[in-house]
Structure formats: C-alpha cells, structure tokens
Structure 1
C-alpha cells in the first residue's frame, strides 16, 4: 500500500501531525524501555489515526542509548498501511542506515545556535548544514522526502534569545538543499505567540513557497498551545507533537515537555480543523504508555478528557 504523501500541500481546514513520541519522547527516558513497549506505542498511534510517526533514530548509541534498537523497531512495525514511518538522522552514515531500515522520511536537525549545535551534534551550524547536503543526497537517491528541524529557533539555553533573521539565514541555506519541509523548533520552550509570528514571517520571506514550514513546540513554560494557535494564524499546517507530552532534548538543560499530541489534537478539533485522528483512541494510547513507563505524563486530556465527549470531531479529508 502506498505511503502518505508528506510532500503534498495541506488544505487550510486540515492539519498534518507527526507524533515524535517513540523517538523524541523516549530518547531521554532514564530507564530501559523494552522493544515491545516501543512497538506497541507505534502500533497504537497508527490505530488512533496518526499519519506520521517518528519511529526511531539512527545516531550514535553512545550518545542516545535508548535508540540503539531503532532498526529492530522499524522491522517490527513494517506493513502499517499508509502511515509514514520516519527516522531521525544527523549524518550520511545514519541516513544510509535509515534507508536500509525502511524509513519513509529522513528527519534531521540543524541548530541555529552555534553553541547548541556543537553540544548536540559536535559540529558548527555551518558544518551541520554541509552534512545536510549529504543527507539530502542519500534521500534523493532513495526517492525519500527530507524533513529538517531548526532547533533553538526561538531561543537557546546557552546563548539566550535568537534573532528571527538568524533563523531565516539558516532556513534559507537549508532550503537550497531541497528538503520537503523545515520545522521551526522551540527547543527550550521559550517562544511566545509574537515570537512564532515573527520567526515564521522572517523564514517564509526567505524560503518562499517551495519548502513547507512547520512547528516543533515544547510546553516547558506552558505556552505551546498558544504558540500552536499563533502558528495556525500564520498559516502553519504541519506540527510535531509527542503522545502524553513525553520528551525533551537531552542536550539542552531544562528542555522538557514536547507539546502533547492529544492536547494539540483537542485544540485543532475545537477550532474546526480536521486531523484524521480519533482523540479518544489517542488518549487511550497515552494512558497505556503512562502505565508502561510507570510515570505520570503531563497530558491534560489524560486528566480532564475532551471538553465535549459527545461532539463529532472533524475527520481528515
């Protein structure tokens, strides 16, 4: 069965979500997570209607030991219909490994902050952009889309505020490599809605319409849903989120709290936008994960549930 075409434009009344929980959510868990739990997590997300799932990453197991079994997770989740199974890579070696594992999209990251780039991937921003050229070449040879996150787009734990023009400079350089999409990442949860509007405008002015823009938000300071709403107003229709609110970058101090997928879906449905996701099924997945990991997750939907359970939510068209 053919995969979801992540390169296609999205209608104004719909959004496309990628759940990054199996990768971004689990990578910093301070305990072993079984492959059975990871596979069940991916399968549950697919059953709930997620069209894009970041299944794992092909990076150094020394740096991110929780992702060392990503190849096995990909093998165990083959044949999941039209869901796009996506893999994080940071260099050419990882890109080849992800292609061999059957990834449908290569996801990568370049930091706008020089300091964070060196701490995260051991390269300067300029070097990371050059490495993206190699990743894009591997993807092109395999006819796969490339999705690049611009980390620290709204601030850095080491350098402080980041100017929108600096984000636009990096985005412009990356857009020239031909990725399908660029996601502006609020790595430390520092953005306010006005920041989202400013950065989106600055990047869009430089990249034009040839590259899709999206948002990867963290709820560290409780503004992720407000920032998502600002993104909607700015025309963003692609979002990353993590089931249960799992995750946060292990290389940036205090960078907890990916925006929770079910909370974001609830917002989108309340605004009359279609997602193709069954919210109750997604909440059930979050509940199962909470039990499997034996920790309380920050999901509001797990605590309170949808505002109107008898309301028929819009479906993905």
Structure 2
C-alpha cells in the first residue's frame, strides 16, 4: 500500500464561499501565502463564479494576482463555465478545476445548467487550454449522494467518469461528496472500481463532514488505493446551494490522523494548527476542527500536584 499521500487545501475557496461576512482580500492572500509553506501539494485559491451567486469570491482575480507562489505548490481555481475559465486563464491559474454535479437536480441548482450543457461548455474550455501548460481537473460533485435525489446510482457516476477520461481526456478527476452523504463502504467500493478502471489516473476525493463520517471515508478511500485528498483548514465550508451543508473535512485533523497512523504527507501539522487558531478572529466564529481545540495526541499535560 502506498504510504505517501497528497494533501490539497481548499479553505479559501470551499471553506470561505459560504461565509456571510466578506473576508478582506489581503487576509485571503496572507493565508494562502502561509499555507504555501505548510507542505500541502495544492491550494484551491478561489473560484471564478458570478459575484452575485458567491459574493465572498468576488475578488478572485485580485487574490490570484497578489499571492506569493511556491514552486512546489499547484495553485488551482474552480471554474463552472467558459466565462470563468477565461478569467482563470487570465489570472494565471496553474490548474483549472471544472465542476459538474452527477445529479441532474443539483447541477441545475448549482450552476443553472443540465449536465449535457455543462459537458458542452467543458469542451469549449478544453479548446482554450489546448497547447498551454494549464492542467485541467474534472470534479464530479454529488458523487455519492444528492440532497434532492438521494443516493447516486453507481452506473451514472461511472458513465460520467468515463466521459471525463475518454471523451474529454481530462488530466485528473475528483470525486466530491458535496453534501456529506457518503459512507465508508460505499466509498471503498466505488473508489476501488475507479482505480481498477483507470489505474494511472490521478484521482482526488473531496469529503465533507456533514454527518460525521469524513475521516472514516478517508480511511475507506485509502484502502481502495486513493492517495489525494482535499481538506479545508479548520473544517470550514459547505455548498451554498445544498440544504444542511456543513464543512469540509478539517486539514489539521486529517494530517494529525494520518501522521498517527504512519502515512507520509510532508505537511507540518503544527503550522496548520497555528493558522487554524487565527480563523475564529478572521471569520467571527469558532471552527469545527477538533485538534485545534484538544491538541495533538502527543501533547502531554502535567498532573495536578
């Protein structure tokens, strides 16, 4: 089993997008610069979406313009359509993350398009990136369940995976549990099949902890051969267009667990914890993460005399 795992940070996109109070652009840039020195392999900086739909990310281009890039980190932007892709390319994104929901209902709710319309736009975007150094990742939102339709049929999920890989020829794919409906047995079964179908394809899983199964799903995915994981500092985030959505799995909790088990992440958990402690002041409320509150399992305390 591969002991080396890749941790990818999404706090300034998926973590911040649901926050109602606008986080100053300079603070976003400062946080990204600090995260770039923690050992994470990729940072999803922002999303180029309509400012009316997601006001928190209206400063996407300015954020990209001002970050200090680490050559060992990939800086990516989530893009739902051609207009967003043009902005991401102009901003100098290393990677474009195309997103479409496997659920027809959620895709209409999330990006106001049918899945067929989304795929058509993706083809146009790929024409724009052809011949460039920009990597294109495809995210399959609601890969495990939809709040409107229930569990996503496996056949439908793998139909779209096949479309992403064989028709669109995307560089990599992310399976996203957008509303935290996945459970470990389902994750392990589906990810084993995905790895068997495309053993050389870089596959990321993106879990939310909506129902408390996020880290358990990580273990299930590892058992299936997955080595790339999205997470958000402090456990922040959630989809603005999904009822009951709560945060992503927490980056420092994830790294702390993987360190304890003996996996190699190359991520400095102490740096993550220090950054997570700054989040409540930044967003005006406590964060869901646990290690930042309880400390690491290696942190010992003196007995009362």
TM-score band by shorter chain is: over 0.9
**TM score, norm. by length of structure 1:** 0.90
**How many angstroms does 1:286 deviate by?**
0.8
| Gap change, CA 1:271 and 1:140, over 3 Å in 2 | farther
Structure 1 stretch displaced more, 46-55 or 227-236: 46-55
SS in 1 for 2:240: coil
User: 120, 123, 127: which one pairs with 1:133?
Assistant: 123
SS in 2 for 1:255: coil
Mapped pair 1:74 → 2:64: yes
State the partner residue of 1:301.
Answer: 291
| Gap change, CA 1:79 and 1:215, over 3 Å in 2 | closer
**How many angstroms does 1:161 deviate by?**
1.1
State the partner residue of 1:227.
Answer: 217
The CA RMSD measured in Å over matched residues stands at 1.5
Q: Deviations over 1:14-40 (max 9, x none)?
A: 111111100111111011110121111
**How many angstroms does 1:247 deviate by?**
0.2
State the partner residue of 1:6.
Answer: none
SS in 1 for 2:249: coil
CA distance in 1 between partners of 2:290 and 2:34 (Å): 19
Mapped pair 1:257 → 2:247: yes
State the partner residue of 1:8.
Answer: none
State the partner residue of 2:150.
Answer: 160
Q: Give structure 2 stretches of 5+ with no counterpart.
A: 301-305
State the partner residue of 1:52.
Answer: 42
CA distance in 1 between partners of 2:101 and 2:184 (Å): 21
Instruction: Map 1:81-96 onto structure 2 (within 5 A).
Output: 81-96=71-86
User: 89, 104, 122: which one pairs with 1:99?
Assistant: 89
State the partner residue of 2:303.
Answer: none
Tell me the number of residue pairs that the alignment of Structure 1 and Structure 2 aligns.
299
State the partner residue of 1:195.
Answer: 186
Mapped pair 1:180 → 2:171: yes
Runs of 4 or more, structure 1, over 4 Å off, are none
8 Å Cα contact 1:95-1:139 kept in structure 2: no
8 Å Cα contact 1:164-1:198 kept in structure 2: no
Q: Give structure 1 stretches of 5+ with no counterpart.
A: 1-10, 311-317
